[in-house]
Amino acid sequence: MAMLLREALGDSLRRVRTQQGRTLREVSTDARVSLGYLSEVERGQKEASSELLASICDALDVEIADLLLEVGAAMRPEPVAVGADVVGVDRDAAVVPAGVDADAAIASKVVIAAPEVHHRAATLAAA
């Protein structure tokens, strides 16, 4: 069975905390969350809300984006090619990690197309 998001988040949070040499009590106090709940989050037993995750990351002085990148890498069993056009695979637009054969990766993986930019959204963003 694949690793659950809450388990990967908990593993990463615990790793960061222990690397900093901090206790659960210290981080729970700084994050304003109960010690028991933080322990359950670290063990992957509770799903942390985005607000709680932000508070824990602030207490650990780590960016949520960095934590999520680490979690994503831990959950991905192998490199995946990303990028496609609507009809088929666009090999020129695919993003494949260094050292991975692009043709083999694209042929063996699901390729997710990037969302199209809508003119209205671009106009609103420019305003």
Give me the helix-helix angle, 5-19 and 64-75, nearest 10°.
120
Q: What is the pLDDT of residue 82?
A: 52
pLDDT over 90, % of the chain: 52
Q: Please count the residues of the chain.
A: 127
- Give me the half-sphere count of Cα atoms (radius 13 Å) on the Cβ side of residue 123: 3
Average pLDDT over residues 26-48: 95
Collapse the DSSP code of 30 into the 3-class scheme (helix H, G, I; strand E, B; otherwise coil) and give the result.
Answer: helix
Confidence of residue 93 (pLDDT cuts 50, 70, 90): very low
Q: What is the pLDDT of residue 73?
A: 86
Q: What is the pLDDT of residue 3?
A: 80
CATH of segment(s) 5-75: 1.10.260.40
Question: CA–CA separation, 67 vs 84, rounded Å?
Answer: 27
Domain ranges, ordered by start, for the chain: 5-75, 79-127
pTM above 0.85, yes or no: no
Reading the block at residue 55, the tokens are 């508070």
Reading the block at residue 101, the tokens are 């054969």
Residue predicted with more confidence, 9 or 90 = 9
Q: Does the CA dihedral 30-54-41-37 come out positive or negative?
A: positive
Instruction: Report residue 95: phi and psi, to 5°.
Output: -110, 115
Question: Which whole-number Å values give the CA distances from 51 to 25, 63, 82, 119, in the listed order?
Answer: 19, 13, 30, 32
pLDDT by residue (tens digit) across 77-90? 765 555 543 334 44
